């Protein structure tokens, strides 16, 4: 029997799991609900240390990672994951209020695949996720609503 080389992002047996590491509860819940409605399985962490542990234990398809976090910052989390052969394959979308060029460079140097400044539009966030891991199992209407306008 031939072995399928279908990417896991299109395999209906394996859900696309997004880990959100964010300490702002309202933002975390809002984006988790949006991505869940889109069809992604969402898991959450509210500090850097538990987020790193969840990333290592849950094998997410993608990580949405804030930079300014209690216990361990996003730059460190990204470096620890991206420079480890077991986790370097996991795409990281870094999102933060830190929007200076030096911050962006540090985020990309730490291994972030995409760096998105806050506030951001949900449509652009979803576009970044789709570009990295494929479309969600069920489609959601892509709006260009800003997260800052929605909360």
| pLDDT tens figures, 71-106 | 999 999 999 999 999 999 999 999 988 878 898 899
Which CATH fold topology does 15-132 show? Answer: Rossmann fold (3.40.50)
DSSP 29-67: HHHHHHHHHHT-EEEEESSHHHHHHHHHHH--SEEEEES
Residue 149 confidence (pLDDT) above 70: no
| pLDDT tens figures, 98-141 | 878 898 899 999 999 999 998 888 999 999 999 999 987 765 44
């Amino acid at each position: 029997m031939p072995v399928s080389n279908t990417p896991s992002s299109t395999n209906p047996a394996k859900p696309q799991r997004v880990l959100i590491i964010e300490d702002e509860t309202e933002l975390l819940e809002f984006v988790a609900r949006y991505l869940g409605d889109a069809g992604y399985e969402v898991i959450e962490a509210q500090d850097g240390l538990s987020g790193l542990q969840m990333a290592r234990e849950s094998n997410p398809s993608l990580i949405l990672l804030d930079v300014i976090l209690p216990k361990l910052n996003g730059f460190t989390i990204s470096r620890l994951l991206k420079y480890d052969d077991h986790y370097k394959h996991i795409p990281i979308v870094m999102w933060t209020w830190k929007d200076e060029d030096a911050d962006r460079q540090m985020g990309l140097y730490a291994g972030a695949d995409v760096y998105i400044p806050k506030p951001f539009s949900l449509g652009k966030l979803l576009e970044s996720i789709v570009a990295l891991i494929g479309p969600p199992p069920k489609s959601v209407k892509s709006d260009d609503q800003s997260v800052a306008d929605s909360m």
